[in-house]
Amino acid sequence: MGVNEKMKLRGLKPSISCSECIKDIPHLPGVYIMKDASGEAIYIGKAKDLFKRVSSYFQESRPRTAKLISLLEKVKGLDYVVTGSEEEALIYEASLIKEKKPRYNVELKDDKTFPFLKIGLNEKFPRLTITRKKIDDGSRYFGPYTKVGLLRNAVGILKNIFPMRICKRMPGEVCLAYHIGQCMGPCVNKVDEESYSAIVRQLILFLEGKKTILIQELTDNMKRFADKKDFERAAIMRNRLSALLEVSDRKTADYSSWGNVALKLKKILKLASLPLRIEAFDVSNISGKEATGSMVYFNNGVPDKSNYRKFRIKNVKGVDDYAMMKEIVRRRYKRLKEENVKFPDLVIIDGGKGHLAAAHEELLKLNLSHVPVIGIAKQEEKIYTLDSSKPLDINRDSEMLHFIQSVRDEAHRFALKYHHVLRHNNFTNSDFASRRR
């Protein structure tokens, strides 16, 4: 069980219906394992909210079938594992059911009804697909899984970590999946068989629930490549490890449509390339006190918290949001320029035309006019660009707008969190000083 699954086990008393016995189960996604008196797993389930799901079994108002009554009579203990999302719980549930074969999980014994994940090991460059047919063709099958929609979402997440091909026939040129980092491009020799096989092996470890082994392998590979001065491959291992660890913190979301969102952003914002690396800025202050700034980083539509940055405003006095925005943008990109690091494909500013102009002014001073920047105004939820004084005409229900809003909201949350930390520390220090007088 992985170190980032935050595994927690709790043995329950024979009177399992007692609320005292389940009160510590968290409101988080995960897998629960019901056990009999001998400690054998008799039922395994997944949940978006472990507490709500497990406690629902013991509610007096719940209708009870003969099967449920029989199950509850035998349940004498419970284990549970917290996962990063409902999608990960779905994957882990299936692997545990295959391993432990609990007798009350009868619905997953019908292999003809539910879908499987298939890894075509009989191919030179195996592909990852969803199928309802399990045949003896040399492939590895995982599952079955109870919810095909959730499984598709899970595959969308998996492809960001393990970029395997999904095409039936390899084309003669790279496709969208390659450009958004969800395929290594074996069709045009962008990856060799050995490196691709390593990705396949790592995916199998993940699907088998062996995340601890996988994390250690990626960490060892990263260090080995770095020691050899092969920094490009070390960075690949680092990014894959970061994405894997991010699964443990990510809220459940549908990332399967990210490719379409990226294409729409490129077209509507007239970008030179797909916005794979996005940075977003926000400032937070109350009457100018303890002013802070934040920058969040999204890679292929997924937040990468290892690249988040926080700023304590140093050079602005009083309430001046524009000046604060200038300061954090200047500090961020001055450093990237000095370190000769790649710039983002898109910058998002929390604010309207004024905040956007302030940020762009600093980019111009740094000779970075080529870095695309947009603003999203508070309350109006309108997108502003440098090309027009009017906001873009975007449907309020569009995926693109929702994605930009989610990035902006994450920047706001991160800035607010840092602001609260500083205010708390300032209050604590002042209180301590007053007591010493």
Rg, Å, the chain Cα set:
25
Q: How would you classify the pairing of strands 8-10 and 30-35?
A: unpaired
Q: What is the CATH number of the domain that holds 29?
A: 3.40.1440.10
Sign of the dihedral defined by the CA atoms of residues 421, 403, 262, 175, in that order: positive
Task: For residues 17 and 370, give the distance between their C-alpha atoms in angstroms, rounded to a whole number.
Answer: 63
262 closest CA partner among 407, 148, 67: 407
Q: Do residues 318 and 343 lie in contact, with contact meaning Cβ atoms separated by under 8 Å?
A: no
Task: Write down which residue in 90, 108, 126 finishes a domain.
Answer: 108
Residue whose structure tokens are 């709790």? 10
- Asked whether residue 435 is domain-assigned, the answer is no
Q: How would you classify the pairing of strands 8-10 and 41-47?
A: unpaired
Please indicate, yes or no, whether residues 101 and 209 belong to a single structural domain of this protein.
no
- Asked whether residue 432 is domain-assigned, the answer is no
Model pLDDT, residue 10: 35
Task: Write down which residue in 190, 212, 247 finishes a domain.
Answer: 247
Q: Do residues 125 and 171 lie in contact, with contact meaning Cβ atoms separated by under 8 Å?
A: no
Task: For residues 103 and 90, give the distance between their C-alpha atoms in angstroms, rounded to a whole number.
Answer: 19
- Asked whether residue 436 is domain-assigned, the answer is no
Tally the C-alpha atoms within 13 A of residue 381's C-alpha that lie toward its C-beta.
14
Please indicate, yes or no, whether residues 149 and 81 belong to a single structural domain of this protein.
no
Task: For residues 283 and 310, give the distance between their C-alpha atoms in angstroms, rounded to a whole number.
Answer: 10
- Asked whether residue 181 is domain-assigned, the answer is yes
Helix (H) and strand (E) counts for the chain? Answer: 12, 14
Q: Residue 144: is the preceding peptide bond cis (ω within 30°)?
A: yes
The distance between the two most distant Cα atoms of the chain, rounded to a whole number of Å, is: 80
Task: For residues 297 and 336, give the distance between their C-alpha atoms in angstroms, rounded to a whole number.
Answer: 14
Q: Do residues 86 and 46 lie in contact, with contact meaning Cβ atoms separated by under 8 Å?
A: yes
- Asked whether residue 252 is domain-assigned, the answer is no
Model pLDDT, residue 18: 41
Task: For residues 16 and 201, give the distance between their C-alpha atoms in angstroms, rounded to a whole number.
Answer: 40
Please indicate, yes or no, whether residues 213 and 328 belong to a single structural domain of this protein.
no
Q: Do residues 356 and 384 lie in contact, with contact meaning Cβ atoms separated by under 8 Å?
A: yes
Please indicate, yes or no, whether residues 217 and 304 belong to a single structural domain of this protein.
no
Model pLDDT, residue 426: 53
Model pLDDT, residue 318: 76
The neighbour count for residue 340, using CB atoms within 10 Å, is 6
Please indicate, yes or no, whether residues 144 and 221 belong to a single structural domain of this protein.
yes
Task: Indicate left, alpha or beta for 110 from its phi (over 0: left) and psi (-120 to 50: alpha).
Answer: beta
- Asked whether residue 182 is domain-assigned, the answer is yes
Please indicate, yes or no, whether residues 287 and 332 belong to a single structural domain of this protein.
yes
Task: Write down which residue in 108, 134, 155 finishes a domain.
Answer: 108
Query: DSSP state, 342?
Result: P
Q: How would you classify the pairing of strands 302-303 and 289-299?
A: antiparallel
75 closest CA partner among 144, 11, 149, 160: 11
Q: Do residues 263 and 221 lie in contact, with contact meaning Cβ atoms separated by under 8 Å?
A: no
Please indicate, yes or no, whether residues 73 and 126 belong to a single structural domain of this protein.
no
293 closest CA partner among 306, 283, 303: 283
- Asked whether residue 407 is domain-assigned, the answer is yes
Please indicate, yes or no, whether residues 128 and 211 belong to a single structural domain of this protein.
yes
Q: Do residues 252 and 29 lie in contact, with contact meaning Cβ atoms separated by under 8 Å?
A: yes
Please indicate, yes or no, whether residues 288 and 238 belong to a single structural domain of this protein.
no
Please indicate, yes or no, whether residues 234 and 91 belong to a single structural domain of this protein.
no
Please indicate, yes or no, whether residues 336 and 406 belong to a single structural domain of this protein.
yes
Report residue 194 as tokens.
């050995």
Task: For residues 248 and 206, give the distance between their C-alpha atoms in angstroms, rounded to a whole number.
Answer: 13
- Asked whether residue 89 is domain-assigned, the answer is yes
| Helix/strand/coil for 375 | strand
Going from the first residue of the chain to its last (437 residues), give the mean pLDDT of each consecutive group of 10, the final group possibly shorter: 33 40 74 86 88 83 76 82 79 79 68 78 88 87 80 80 83 76 82 87 83 78 83 79 60 51 89 92 70 88 87 84 94 95 94 94 96 88 90 81 87 75 52 43
Residue whose structure tokens are 């014994």? 109
Report residue 411 as tokens.
């920047």
Q: Do residues 281 and 411 lie in contact, with contact meaning Cβ atoms separated by under 8 Å?
A: yes
Provide the H-helix boundaries in 162-271: 176-179, 193-207, 211-227, 231-247, 258-268
Report residue 70 as tokens.
């029989």
The neighbour count for residue 141, using CB atoms within 10 Å, is 17
Please indicate, yes or no, whether residues 274 and 371 belong to a single structural domain of this protein.
yes
Query: Whole-prediction pTM value?
Result: 0.51
The total domain count for the chain is 3
Domain range holding 400? 258-424
